[in-house]
């Protein structure tokens, strides 16, 4: 694991909304283009962790970009279409629940970011990653930016793309497994989700069995397998 290079702002340095200052500084140093990286789905009990890499066009930055957690679902859905139309390049990658269980959620999140950067059709000269860690194995230099989705418009765009992509995956999965209510909680540990797990058991290859409450003493039943019915995510 490469050592982390963090960029931790003082509280009074935080912009009200993310801007393009970090990207502009890197571009002045000759790093062009710059990609923003973020992930969605570290905390849920079910489903993949999804990462996105976005290279914004400096001449066509969408208005209203922000940390996806500070936006409504309706705003995210509207903005993701604008980002996909206006950005120079967008890439999405995911790591499934089984792979998360084989490693851990932190490593899986960083690997998803690495795959997202590698999947860009326009290679990035530099990347800005949300958080404290630099994903290992990137094809370009990278800076970790604490609260990056509230500071960098590129990271904010990536956070929106990752969140919407993951939510859509989970809503589609919910049509195949309606008893679990994935369309409402997208895998997070809500009361409804926990009740469904107790009633029907965890779903093989969908629930993260390394997470609580999936301990041997807590769950003794095995629910349906997500592979029982083909799942197609658009």
Which percentage of the chain shows pLDDT scores above 70?
A: 85
Task: Give the confidence band of 1 by pLDDT, cuts at 50, 70, 90.
Answer: very low
Give yes or no for residue 152 having a pLDDT over 80.
yes
Q: Give me the phi and psi of 25, to 5 degrees please.
A: -65, -45
Residue of 201, 204, 206 lying closest to 186 (CA atoms) = 206
The mean pLDDT value for 177-193 works out to 96
The pLDDT value given to residue 12: 54
Q: Give residue-wise pLDDT tens across range 79-132.
A: 999 999 999 999 999 999 999 999 999 999 999 999 999 999 999 999 999 999
The pLDDT value given to residue 161: 98
Residue of 59, 35, 23, 8 lying closest to 159 (CA atoms) = 35
| Residues 201-229 as b or e (16 or more Cβ within 10 Å = b) | bbbbbbbbbebeebeeeebeeebbebeee
The mean pLDDT value for 138-156 works out to 98
The pLDDT value given to residue 15: 64
Name the pTM for this structure. 0.87
Q: What is the mean pLDDT of the chain?
A: 90
The pLDDT value given to residue 229: 35
The pLDDT value given to residue 216: 58
Task: Give the confidence band of 212 by pLDDT, cuts at 50, 70, 90.
Answer: confident
Give yes or no for residue 173 having a pLDDT over 80.
yes
Complete domains list, the chain, with CATH: 15-171 (3.30.420.10), 175-228 (no CATH)
The pLDDT value given to residue 52: 98
The mean pLDDT value for 204-225 works out to 72
Give yes or no for residue 187 having a pLDDT over 70.
yes
């Amino acid at each position: 694991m490469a050592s982390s290079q963090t960029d931790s702002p003082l509280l009074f340095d935080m912009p009200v909304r993310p801007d393009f200052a970090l990207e502009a500084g890197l571009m002045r140093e000759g790093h062009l283009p710059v990609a923003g990286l973020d992930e969605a789905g570290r905390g849920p009990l079910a489903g993949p962790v999804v990462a996105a890499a976005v290279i914004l066009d400096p001449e066509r930055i969408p208005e209203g970009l922000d940390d996806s957690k500070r936006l409504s679902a309706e705003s995210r859905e509207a903005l993701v279409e604008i980002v996909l139309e206006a950005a120079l390049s967008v890439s999405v990658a995911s790591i499934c629940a089984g792979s998360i269980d084989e490693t851990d959620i932190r490593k899986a999140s960083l690997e998803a970011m690495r795959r997202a950067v590698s999947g860009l059709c326009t290679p990035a000269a530099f990347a800005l990653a949300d958080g404290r860690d630099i994903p290992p194995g990137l094809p370009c230099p990278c800076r970790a930016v604490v609260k990056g989705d509230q500071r960098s418009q590129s990271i904010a765009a990536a956070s929106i793309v990752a969140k919407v992509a993951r939510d859509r995956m989970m809503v589609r999965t919910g049509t195949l497994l309606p008893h679990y209510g994935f369309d409402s909680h997208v895998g997070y540990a809500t009361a409804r989700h926990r009740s469904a797990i107790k009633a029907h058991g965890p779903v093989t290859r969908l629930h993260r069995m390394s997470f609580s409450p999936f301990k041997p003493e807590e769950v003794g039943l095995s629910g349906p397998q997500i592979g029982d019915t083909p799942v197609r995510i658009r």
